[in-house]
Amino acid sequence: MERETQFIGQSAAFQDAVERASLAASLDRPVLVIGERGTGKELIAERLHRLSTRWDRPYVIMNCAAMPETLIESELFGHEAGAFTGATRTRAGRFEEADGGTLFLDELATMSMGAQERLLRAVEYGEVTRVGSSRPIRVDVRIVAATNEHLPALAEDNRFRADLLDRLSFEVITLPPLRAREGDIEVLAEYFGQRMAAVLGWDEWPGFGPRALAAMEGHDWPGNVRELRNVIERAIYRWADPEKPVDALSFDPFASPWQPVSRKAPARPEASAPAPANDAAHASAAPPSGPVSDLRAAVDAYEKQILSDTMARCRFNQKVAAEALGLSYDQIRHALKKHGLNQ
């Protein structure tokens, strides 16, 4: 799918971050973009370039995490032929490619201390030296860098150069996570939903049902906008009736009764442990009081209430709800179908 370049959101926290980026764009100074994964750091970096005086010059992107430590300096600064095994020809680095424009360094915190030292010289003096050469090359590059780490803490632990941090932090734009963007979840869901419905050729966009909307608002969205987009698009393409509002979401695409078990499963956070959900489900679904004329109907009603409450509490994730109730995946699917709760 095409690269997403639009800013969708109406919350004050999000608009403030975009406005700060717009203000900083015209200044020829380095900018750090901080935020959790999926918050749109790449979009802010591109905005900083497009609204700058360098908009018609190169915009070069380098993901520092994708580069082995042994190659990152060569990628950044270039190398001469014969500088190391495999260097059969001279190659310009990303700094030279971005000369006159903007260099976006994503995942900055993963850069080695050696590469940080050379990056500091390039930022301070506007010079780079190819690996295997002793002749510096003048470059005119604006640095925009992004990370999801707290760089001051890394600097205190001597895992990031404090002097480099000082040079790069002229302006720091911190993007709010989706859970802190009041009102934006539904706005973004509608936007992604309409686009996906158009991709699938639906005649009209039916919107979302109340259960789906409640599940969206109750989810923490650790993957932020990127996760939201995946959840919405997955829900729509799985929805069987384009004329009815989409009312079922799957937050975990790996959920399956045949999911392989890791040899060393990560510890489940205490807040999401199934035991409390199980206790709460039974506490909220009180058995009927007074005389019972139809035992089977009363038991069914009690079971349905427990299922309904647990599914809502587990954000309609059947796998999590099954764990909370001590059932297998097949058992909870059968129970939901029995009580008409699987729509």
Render pLDDT for 85-143 as a digit per residue (tens, 0 to 9). 777 788 888 999 999 999 999 999 999 898 899 899 899 999 998 888 888 899 999 99
Per-residue burial over 84-97, b if 16 or more Cβ lie within 10 Å, else e, is eeebeeebebbbbe
- Cβ atoms of residues 161 and 120 within 8 Å: yes
* Cα–Cα distance, 83 to 70 (Å, whole number): 12
**pLDDT reading at 13 higher than 60:** yes
Mean pLDDT along residues 285-309: 71
Beta-strand runs (E) in the chain = 31-34, 59-63, 102-106, 127-128, 137-138, 142-147, 171-174
Q: Which domains does the chain carry?
A: 12-176 (3.40.50.300), 182-251 (1.10.8.60), 268-343 (1.10.10)
Buried-state track 133-172, b at ≥16 Cβ within 10 A, e below 16: eeeebebebbbbbbbbeebeebbeeeebbeebbeebbebb
Among 33-37, 99-103, 211-215, 309-313, the least confident range: 309-313
Q: Answer whether residue 215 shows pLDDT above 90.
A: yes
Q: Do 35 and 178 touch, CB atoms closer than 8 A? A: no
Cα 48 to Cα 104: distance, rounded to the nearest angstrom: 10
Residue 229, pLDDT score:
96
* Locus of tokens 């799985």: 238
User: For position 257, what pLDDT does the model report?
Assistant: 79
Q: Average per-residue pLDDT in the chain?
A: 86
Query: d(Cα 336, Cα 343) in Å, to the nearest integer?
Result: 9
pLDDT of residue 290: 55
Region of 128 (left: φ > 0; alpha: ψ -120 to 50; beta: rest) is: beta
| Backbone phi, psi, residue 341, to 5° | -110, 10
Query: How far is Cα 139 from Cα 101, in angstroms, rounded to an integer?
Result: 10
* Distance separating alpha carbons of residues 287 and 265, to the nearest angstrom: 36
